[in-house]
Structure 1
């Protein structure tokens, strides 16, 4: 496979985008606080797998279908909104695998699956790939360069999310010892998921 040079501008822009708090970051942080570093890594894995799936969708041209089909876009969007609000309620009530208290970590498969669902139900991600990546592709370039840029973005996503997990794991013990801090953390994470859900509900094609 022919390798293509990746611009520093692309890498820096992609890093800033990955670093920006969103659904994946919040899910990774809450999973780490609830189940430790290993749980955070599995959560980050699920979010990254969803990013790869979205990349495949974008590369196959299905993002254009989402862009032109308002009904399909709305159906996926509101499924995502409902799931985000369910996550917010579960964390607020400190329920089971959605708890941010110190508990036995949920099975790896469940953590990965939640990460996939949270991100796969956001129809804006494939549209983002279509809008963002081509800006860094010179005219006449092959599909191979698009694939490399997309895979580079997903790899950076995983590294950044694991970094967030490592930071959360470092201060986890201290936070878990404070009931007041954990109460506020539940409210912050629940509020964040709810806000992201409401933001997604107002998105337009």
Structure 2
């Protein structure tokens, strides 16, 4: 692959990774509630979701979503439902009398929910449908599936760096928040509202 194309893709991947969305909010929420380890585990889960999308694209499954729009609509509905679930969970945590009474999620649960958050995001599928093919060449020495895997690897590497940094930074606030449960409750409320807002935006956006 051409070095210029790879560098351009790295820049685009960095910008996309920094844009706030369900993935970023989930990492922030878990970093704050479960500490740096929870934030990093959430980031790894998001990267696993990116890997799933990358392999699917290399196998040609993205063409299915392009040929059958109803399949993308199913993913959209699943994404809305999952964001609403996260919103309810955050709002429920916000009404607990003390942040220390909140049930802590296991690292395995955080990881699984992070993977589901990414996989159920139809915008990631659209990213592979509309954006990634612009960096793929049919005249290149590498077959198209290999190019898709390589670009997915770049996106995963950039994403894990950004997401892990967010997870560590938000995790650094956890000790402070344990001493100040009122702040934690307000952050849980804010997270619930943001997850609900993201679900509403996804429900009203035109994905075509």
Name the TM tier (shorter chain): 0.7 to 0.9
Deviation, structure 1 residue 104: 6.6
| 1:159 alignment partner, one of 158, 161, 167 | 161
Q: Which has the higher helix share?
A: 2
1:4, distance to aligned residue in structure 2 (A): 6.0
TM-score (structure 2 length as normaliser) = 0.85
Q: What SS does the corresponding residue of 2:72 show, helix, strand or coil?
A: helix
By how many angstroms is 1:173 displaced?
2.3
TM-score (norm 1): 0.87
- Determine which structure has greater relative contact order: mean sequence separation of CA pairs < 8 Å that are 6+ residues apart, divided by chain length: 2
- Tell me what 2:113 maps to: 114
CA contact (8 A) 2:32 2:174 kept: yes
Structure 2: any 5+ residue segments left out of the alignment? none
How far apart are the structure 1 equivalents of 2:180 and 2:84? 26
Look up the match of 1:70: 69
Native 8 Å contact 1:66 1:123 kept in 2: no
Q: Which secondary structure state, in structure 2, belongs to the residue aligned with residue 190 of structure 1?
A: helix
> Structure 1: which 5+ residue stretches go unaligned?
none
The structural deviation recorded for 1:105 is: 4.2
Give 1:107-146 correspondences, 5 Å limit: 107-141=106-140, 142=142, 143=144, 144-146=146-148
Contact 2:22-2:117 within 8 A present in 1 as well: yes
